[in-house]
Amino acid sequence: MINGVKRQIPDDLKAFEKSDAFKKIKRRLINKKEKQSQTVFFDNIEKAFDHFKIVSGQCLSFHHHLRNGDKVIEMVAHEIENRNLINMHLAPSSIFPNYTKLVDLIKNKNVTNIHTNYINGPVADTVSQGYLDGKLIMNTHGGRARAIESGDLKIDVAFLACPVVDRNGNGTGAFGKTACGTLGYAISDLEYARYVVLVTDTLVDELEDYQFDGTYVDAVVVVDSIGDSDGIVSGTTQLTKDPIGLKIAKDCALLLDELDMIKENMSMQTGAGKTSLAVVKYVKDIMKQKNIIGSFASGGITKSYVEMLNEGLFRELYDVQCFDLDAVESYHKNRNHKAMSASEYGNPFEKNPVCNKLDFVILGATEIDLDFNVNVTTDSLGNLIGGSGGHADIAFGAKVTIIISPLIKSRIPIIKERVTTVTTPGSDVDILITERGIAINPIRQELIEILKNSDFPLFTINELFDLSHRITGVPREVGHESKIVGYVEYRDGTIIDCIYQVKRFQ
Amino acid sequence: MFRSLLFIPGNNPSMIQNADVFPADGVIFDLEDSVDIKEKDNARNLIGNYLTETSTYPSMVVLRVNQVDTEFFEKDLGLLATGKIDYILLPKAGVDSLGILEEKLVEYEKQYDLSEIKVLALVESAKAIIEVFKIAKHKRVEGILLGAEDLCNDLEIGRSDEGTEILFARSRVIYACASNNIVSIDTPNTSISDEAHLRKDCLNAKNLGMKAKSAIHPNQLEIINEIFSPSKKDIEWAKDVIKLAEDNIGKGAFSYKGKMIDKPLILKAEKIIEIAKQFKIS
Amino acid sequence: MKIGIAGSKESNDCLVTVKESKTTNIIIDSIVAAFFYDQIKAVIEETLKELNIENVTVVVEDKGALDYTIKSRLVSAIKRMEKSV
């Protein structure tokens, strides 16, 4: 059948209708896990596998707060291999380039199904090439929380990396040798997995402040090291020096000002890319100039937001994951730098998730199409290179959603007639800002009305599409193999698009 | 009219394909100092094909050719055939080299049926600073760009942050241009990441009387445009003065905020409004 | 053997190598081949035709260059080949 963004979806699946369709549906909740009186301690993963009798076909989950420095998922992967478990279902909140062990497990059918919110690197390539026997389900951050609490994604054992754990099984990421800040993506796993195992390298007697409540924790595995701190920080703390990126960022800030979005009590979220950081700087300049104090910034938090909090430009930060050590430190010390869980952040069924309180969000895109649908899941060849993360959640929640991107990247135009894969529906995307012009979604006539007499270079998205083709030539349609390797699941659990095996070139 | 001119190296496709995107009032495609001597042919080809084939080129196109006494000079001028070049920027400009360029331009204008090609003179030697009034009088010359790096090499002196060593040269260029009603263009600032220094340098040049500045990196343009545009305060003043002048027609002079306003100040106000309009500043 | 090289492997540029050969061969290695292979090939063929050049091997290592850049590099490489000994 054809879904609400004109995509062909297998008939036996729930097809995406529209982004607010969840409002007609009642929240489903399975029981939270029974609280434990006793937490057991092990000194290796093997013992946890024995204790919880982990067998083939089960679902194991993970969070990605240690990002490219994570060692826990590799430990578990080795144990799966050693025991020759097959048909395992893994549900890490993201998959990073260095989780390479999973490549073998997928090829050898130890792992046959995956739920995740973001996937990049060798594992992504392996799935794109068709090696995963079952399916890859790409969730949003809020959608993953919904899937877990509703029992759509049933987790047998959650292996949760935790930088510091105490004797009662309470845990925190705020400090320690692998400090990563908040552990927001793992809260649903903690509360709803059948068994919860914390994996740590730092055991203390008693924590006063903790994010993981020990009463949910069945076991703690104490190992030498859960991660490399070098890989934990994302690295992007410098704002772009690229003149094209700076121009886009500047135009973005000026446009926000023209739309009167930079005002008292404002709230915002941006990505952590170099151009987004430049937007934050320009917005900050305008806030200072106009003496504006915002209510909050949210998301993955970076140093630039920490500075704004410290300078009194925002009253609070809501942080689901810390992107750099400044954010970790601030989360540890500043009461107004608050943790939020993925559910509080973006679950459509939460009463008032943070994403719904946002005034504006600045997001990237690998492709955008004439209907304003955005792809951040695959590249234009169909290779998996990312995923929604919070993209679709905040695009839905925010009053104004702005996509910033160069019109042309290495000869490849960003605007397509149809995106290769739909991550975020065009109905939730309002403005595209490129170095060669700005397009506003025609469903947002009130924005067009405000801007039509301004000096901004406004075009229709079709005009920008034609302009990019005049510069690059018309790119050939690449196509894909017929095999479906996975689905992009919208935050409400419906299927917004299929992910296909990439075409083999001779 | 222009405030900012951006140099783009002639052999750099990444920069060239975005030449029209940067907020420069004009773009100088450079075939001279930023192009290695072995790559002159390659750069000339690239700029030629770019100008011929692209529909997205800057609204003001300047070509910096090689010096008149090089084997490249005439071939560089051959790019006039594209019909897209508004100005030639002549390096090591002097009365003699302008004469040679003049002859060639007459020839090419005829050959390619072009409207008059304008010239910006790059003065970058002690001799050129001395004859700058003659250069400014040349009928094709619409602007003079001071090249401080080469000038200081010629003088065997170094550059300073304050720029006192080029005060004389700057002043010569400014007076030569102002007295001939052409545009004085300041030397580029070579420190591309020190915004505070760029700002100081721009203010210094503007306060002396420079009307525009060249840039060697796109990220310098925002500050240059800001400083070489009338400020919000200037524009408000100009609007008030013009309004009062209309209300006081027939009176020779009137007072505004405790200061006497007469004809020269009204003309100044009109000029500010004209510039603001052109650069869409309100 | 006569050979000419022009361009670079910087982004949005391409490195073109032209060599004398018994027949005309065009070899394209491009980061955007999936989208623009045919268009790159057409630019090379048209340029060779324009310049009346036959029996050369053209190797293009492309980092996303636009057509006019590819054409410019090819023309420079051919001229350099003709000058080489």
The span from the CA of C60 to the CA of C14, in Å, is: 7
Residue A454 identity? S
In this structure, are B14 and B137 located in the same domain? yes
In this structure, are B128 and B266 located in the same domain? no
pLDDT, tens digit only, all 85 positions of chain C: 899 999 999 999 999 999 999 999 999 999 999 999 999 999 999 999 999 999 999 999 999 999 999 999 999 999 999 988 7
B18, B218, B280: residue with CB nearest A455: B280
Average pLDDT, rounded, for chain C: 96
Which strand (E) or helix (H) includes residue C25? strand C25-30
For residue B247, CA distances in Å to A215, A306, B261 come to 82, 54, 13
Q: How confident is the model at residue A505, as a pLDDT?
A: 67
Lowest mean pLDDT among A113-122, A347-356, B247-256: B247-256
Q: How many residues does chain C have?
A: 85
Q: How far is C39 from chain A (nearest CA, A)?
A: 8
* A352 — pLDDT class (breaks 50, 70, 90): very high
In this structure, are B144 and B247 located in the same domain? no
Kindly report the backbone phi and psi dihedral angles of residue B180, in degrees, each rounded to the nearest multiple of 5, phi listed first. -115, 10
The percentage of chain A sitting over the pLDDT mark of 70, rounded to a whole number, equals 98
C11, C34, C37: residue with CB nearest A410: C11
- Using a CB-CB cut-off of 8 Å, the residues of chain C touching A505 are 34
The span from the CA of A130 to the CA of B226, in Å, is: 55
Question: Is residue A309 pLDDT above 60, yes or no?
Answer: yes
Neighbours of A408 (CB within 10 A): 24
CB pairs under 8 A between A and C: 36
Contact B45 C10 (CB under 8 A): no
Q: How far is A163 from chain C (nearest CA, A)?
A: 41
User: What is the average per-residue pLDDT within B138-145?
Assistant: 97
Chains that touch B (3 or more CB pairs under 8 A): A, C
Number of domains composing chain B: 2
* A236 — pLDDT class (breaks 50, 70, 90): low
Contact A410 C31 (CB under 8 A): yes
Q: pLDDT tens across A154-177, in order?
A: 999 999 999 999 999 999 999 999
* B253 — pLDDT class (breaks 50, 70, 90): confident
In this structure, are B98 and B164 located in the same domain? yes
* Domain layout of chain A by residue ranges: 31-232, 243-479
Substitution target in A238, A247, A408, A411 with the highest count of B β-carbons within 10 Å is: A247
Residue A51 tokens read as: 């204790």
Substitution target in B14, B21, B192 with the highest count of A β-carbons within 10 Å is: B21
* A235 — pLDDT class (breaks 50, 70, 90): low
Contact B222 A467 (CB under 8 A): no
In this structure, are B16 and B131 located in the same domain? yes
Average pLDDT, rounded, for chain A: 96
User: What is the average per-residue pLDDT within A323-338?
Assistant: 95
Question: Is residue A506 pLDDT above 60, yes or no?
Answer: no
Q: Measured between CB atoms, does C42 come within 8 Å of chain A?
A: no
Q: pLDDT tens across A128-138, in order?
A: 999 999 999 99
Q: How confident is the model at residue A237, as a pLDDT?
A: 62
Q: How confident is the model at residue B254, as a pLDDT?
A: 86
How many CA atoms, within 13 angstroms, populate the side-chain half-sphere of residue B60? 20
Substitution target in C9, C76, C79 with the highest count of B β-carbons within 10 Å is: C76
* B193 — pLDDT class (breaks 50, 70, 90): confident
Q: How confident is the model at residue C81, as a pLDDT?
A: 94
Contact C68 B14 (CB under 8 A): no
Q: How far is C68 from chain B (nearest CA, A)?
A: 5
Closest chain C residue to A477 measured between Cα atoms?
Answer: C35
**Cα B165 versus chain centre, distance:** 21
Substitution target in C35, C37, C41, C44 with the highest count of A β-carbons within 10 Å is: C35
Q: Measured between CB atoms, does B9 come within 8 Å of chain A?
A: no
Kindly report the backbone phi and psi dihedral angles of residue A321, in degrees, each rounded to the nearest multiple of 5, phi listed first. -160, 140
Q: How many helices (H) and strands (E) does chain C have?
A: 2, 4
Question: Is residue A182 pLDDT above 80, yes or no?
Answer: yes
Neighbours of A63 (CB within 10 A): 29
Neighbours of B1 (CB within 10 A): 11
Contact B18 A246 (CB under 8 A): no
In this structure, are B126 and B192 located in the same domain? yes
User: What is the average per-residue pLDDT within B14-40?
Assistant: 97
Domain range holding B102?
4-227
In this structure, are B117 and B241 located in the same domain? no
Residue C15 identity? L
In this structure, are B11 and B127 located in the same domain? yes
Question: Is residue B278 pLDDT above 90, yes or no?
Answer: no
Q: pLDDT tens across A19-71, in order?
A: 999 999 999 999 998 776 789 999 999 999 999 999 999 999 999 999 999 99
CATH number of the domain enclosing B68:
3.20.20.60
Question: Is residue A344 pLDDT above 60, yes or no?
Answer: yes
**Fold of the domain built from segment(s) A243-479:** Glutaconate Coenzyme A-transferase (3.40.1080)
Q: How many residues does chain B have?
A: 282
ipTM of this complex prediction, to 2 decimal places: 0.95
- Using a CB-CB cut-off of 8 Å, the residues of chain B touching C65 are 13
For residue A280, CA distances in Å to A124, A186, A294, A308, B193 come to 30, 28, 13, 9, 19
Residue A306 tokens read as: 């920490």
Q: pLDDT tens across B57-103, in order?
A: 999 999 999 999 999 999 999 999 999 999 999 999 999 999 999 99
Looking at domain A31-232, which CATH architecture does it have? Answer: 3-Layer(aba) Sandwich (3.40)
B13, B41, B53: residue with CB nearest C13: B13
The span from the CA of A277 to the CA of A240, in Å, is: 7
In this structure, are B135 and B202 located in the same domain? yes
Q: pLDDT tens across A381-430, in order?
A: 999 999 999 999 999 999 999 999 999 999 999 999 999 999 999 999 99
CB pairs under 8 A between B and C: 44
The percentage of chain B sitting over the pLDDT mark of 70, rounded to a whole number, equals 100
Best CA proximity match to A58, nearest among A45, A42, A76: A76
In this structure, are B251 and B213 located in the same domain? no
Cβ contacts of A135 within 8 Å, gap of 6 or more: A113, A114, A484, A485, A486, A487
The span from the CA of A238 to the CA of A223, in Å, is: 34
